Amino acid sequence: MKKYMVFVVSFLLLFSLFIVSAEVLSGMYLTSAYTPDIKEAWNANAALPQQTVILSTNSSFLLTLVPALLSATIAYFLSQTFSKRTHNKVE
C-alpha cells in the first residue's frame, strides 16, 4: 500500500505540474499574440452592460484531478501485473 501511495502522489504531482505549466505557457503565448482593436472596443462600449457579474467555477481543477487519480491507479496496477508476469517468466 505504501508503494501505491508513493506512486499516486508522485503521479499527481507531476500531472499537476504539467497542467499548470501548460496553462501558464499557453496564457503567455495568447497574451503575446493578442492585438486589440481599439476602434472596435470604443464602438462596442455603448452596448456593454453597466453591471458586471463574476461567476466562479472552482471545481475545474478537481474535475481534472479525478481522472488523473483514476489513471494513476490503473497505471499502478497494470505495472504491478506486468512486473509479476515478467518475473514469473524469467524464473
Q: In this predicted model, what pLDDT tens digit does every residue of 30-56 receive, in sequence order?
A: 999 998 888 888 887 777 777 888 777
pLDDT at 89: 59
**Alpha-carbon dihedral sign for residues 19, 22, 23, 24:** positive
* Residue 38 CA: distances (Å) to CA of 35, 45, 49, 59: 9, 11, 18, 35
Q: What is the DSSP string of 44-90?
A: HGGGS-SS------TTHHHHHHHHHHHHHHHHHHHHHHHHHHHHHHH
Distance from C-alpha of 6 to C-alpha of 8, rounded to nearest angstrom: 6
Residue 70 in grid coordinates: 483514476
pLDDT at 91: 54
pLDDT at 87: 60
The DSSP secondary-structure symbol of 60 reads H
